[in-house]
Amino acid sequence: MNGQRFYAAWIRPTPITETKKGNAMPTIRVEMFEGRTEEQKRQYAKTLTEASVQVLGCSPQAVDVIFYDIKKSDWATGGKLHSDQ
């Protein structure tokens, strides 16, 4: 990686809401640097869904995964934009 830092994703689950049937329905918001392929997102959504089903006991259809692609110029850590590093 030539000394560059790599950030896979920052995952911040949103609050669990209730469906009409009363089952927990997680919505998972994934914020990460842009550049992932559609196939990578597909596999990641599948893995997150499977983990939610296993841990929370919900159905796969109850799990929502929302991807937010962030430009490096729109993300800063320690007061420095990632596009400047």
Known catalytic residues are 26
> What is d(CA 2, CA 76) in angstroms, rounded to the nearest whole number?
20
Residue with tokens 């983990």: 51
